[in-house]
Amino acid sequence: MIDQHVVAAEPLRHASPEDTRERILAAAREVIAKKGKRGATTREIADVAGVNEATLFRHFGNKGALIIAVVQHFCGFVELRSVTSQLNGAIEDDLFVIGKTMMDRMESQSDMIRWSLVEADYEQDLFAETAWRPQIAILELVTEFLQARIDAGKLRGDATQLALIFMGLIFTHVMTRKKFSHFDWLADDEAAIRRYVDVFLNGVRSK
């Protein structure tokens, strides 16, 4: 069992404490993504960070606090302005942009989303809460978007329901892409999104 990490091996006395903290956070995320919260040991996290285990505790006090810090650090708020500025009015195009943003977000946090699904977290609901917040933010954006089109008579149905359905398409894509990697068309994200938008808007029935 030989672990290979990308981190530099040289001892880093020269680095600033903020940098050390950052390295630990990144390492913690990496290890937790692989082994889970319980499976990730402070020992391994420190090793991956290229930092002594004691340093880890000096920074975060205990493992629980470290985990909380990881979640809070990597689940920042979504910059929604950048999304809305790209919308041009055509429903297909706009939904594509929204879908792309959703997918990128989910992809970059898919590890934490997975873990939030596994834990019916008796003690720390905060984890799931924080992991889902960015997604919910986008969901609300989609809901507003759809509501406007429904009001305009262009779409039919309940906005929140439809938003959840649309997000579900992206969600499934991200969650099951590894499981169904033999379907090679899953690899082309943008084509897949276009397909989802098409089905979402027009259904699968022949005209």
Q: What are the residues binding DNA (CB under 7 A)? A: 11-17, 19-21, 40-43, 50-55, 57-59, 61-64
Minimum distance from residue 116 beta carbon to a copy of itself (Å): 8
Q: How far is the CB of 89 from DNA (least distance, A)?
A: 50
Tokens of 171: 């969600």
Q: What is the amino acid identity at position 130? A: T
DSSP characters for 87-120? --S-HHHHHHHHHHHHHHHHHHTHHHHHHHHH--
Instruction: Give me 132's structure tokens.
Output: 């889902």
Within 10 angstroms of residue 140's Cβ, the number of other Cβ atoms is 13
| Partner whose footprint covers residue 185, from a copy of itself, DNA, none (CB < 5 to 8 Å by kind) | a copy of itself
Shortest distance in whole angstroms from residue 15 CB to DNA: 6
The site partner of 68 among DNA, a copy of itself, none (C-beta below 5 to 8 Å per kind) is none
Distances (CA, A) of 111 to 5, 78, 155: 18, 17, 34
Residue placing its CB nearer to a copy of itself in the complex, 21 or 29: 29
Q: Are 103 and 170 in contact (CB under 8 A)?
A: yes
> Closer to a copy of itself at the Cβ: 20 or 127?
127
The CB-of-145 to a copy of itself minimum distance in angstroms stands at 12
